[in-house]
């Protein structure tokens, strides 16, 4: 029941977004570049995972964000109603070009200039090629649970943010969860400006873990999207490399 309600809500959100984009074009408020089917979908997938996945669910990308609409659910409804892949591409391109930065719901908005130019076309082409095309009723698999290893007290509290293996695992979480869309972190190659610049902030491991778990301000809580181990890993990573 809850899933059906969410799909209907996402479909309504998408319909509103389509109308908003069309209204902008009709009013002559500028136009986004046309997103061709031949755009680089592989680059689009990489960018989506880095910059969009923390807010949107998309099965093919392995992302489970809940801040923005579930793109599989929303576009599944739109495709069933007759929307073509080309139209989906242009809608996504338009949403990137004309983001709703301050939703009336009070939820965090979509940042401006998240991706631009050919990168935006690549993301639009990728999303349009996969969104809503999974098997009906299917859902992205939840993150794999990592069984806690039995360790000594010294090993469970590694110095300087964590050992090399944990830091490497944490970097993968940071990239896959789309943290770079909102945060600048040189080691991850990210330049987001929605949240704090982590290189300047240089947060402690405990602070990162607490913020990722519970969220705060425009940042959503990830306690239902990431496992405890993944949160510990990303906290170890950020606290180890920030400012380096």
Q: Is residue 44 a contact partner of residue 127, using CB atoms and an 8 Å limit?
A: yes
pTM of the model: 0.53
Angle of helix 85-97 relative to helix 117-130, nearest 10 degrees, comes to 140
φ, ψ for residue 150, nearest 5 deg = -75, 120
- Please give the pLDDT value at position 108: 72
| 14-18, 22-26, 62-66, 104-108: least confidently modelled range | 22-26
**All domains in the chain, ordered by first residue:** 2-130 (1.10.760.10), 153-241 (1.10.760.10)
pLDDT of 47-87, one tens digit each? 999 888 888 889 999 988 877 788 888 888 778 777 789 88
pLDDT of 125-150, one tens digit each? 999 999 988 644 444 444 444 444 44
Q: What is the rounded average pLDDT of the residues 10-23?
A: 47
pLDDT of 78-102, one tens digit each? 787 777 898 889 888 888 888 877 7
Cα separation, 112 vs 109, whole angstroms:
9
Q: What is the rounded average pLDDT of the residues 218-226?
A: 79
As a whole number, the mean pLDDT across the chain is: 76
């Amino acid at each position: 029941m809850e899933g059906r309600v969410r799909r209907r809500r996402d479909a309504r959100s998408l319909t509103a977004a389509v109308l908003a984009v069309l209204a902008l074009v009709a009013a002559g408020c500028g136009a986004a570049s046309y997103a061709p089917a031949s755009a680089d979908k592989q680059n689009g997938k990489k960018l989506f995972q880095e910059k969009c996945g923390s807010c949107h669910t998309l099965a093919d990308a392995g992302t489970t964000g809940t801040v923005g609409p579930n793109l599989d659910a929303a576009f599944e409804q739109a495709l069933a109603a007759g929307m073509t892949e080309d139209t989906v591409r242009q809608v996504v391109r338009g949403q990137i070009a004309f983001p709703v930065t301050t939703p009336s719901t009070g939820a965090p908005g979509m940042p401006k200039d998240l991706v631009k130019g050919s990168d935006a076309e690549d993301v639009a082409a990728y999303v349009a090629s996969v969104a809503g095309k999974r098997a009906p009723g299917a859902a992205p698999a939840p993150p794999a649970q990592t069984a806690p290893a039995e360790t000594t007290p010294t090993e469970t509290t590694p110095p300087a943010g964590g050992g090399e293996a944990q830091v490497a695992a944490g970097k993968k979480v940071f990239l896959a969860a789309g943290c770079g869309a909102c945060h600048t972190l040189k080691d991850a190659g990210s330049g987001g400006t929605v949240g704090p610049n982590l290189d300047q902030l240089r947060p402690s491991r405990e602070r990162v873990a607490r913020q990722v778990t519970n969220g705060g301000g425009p940042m959503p809580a990830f306690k239902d999207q990431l496992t405890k181990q993944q949160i510990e890993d990303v906290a170890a990573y950020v606290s180890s490399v920030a400012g380096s």
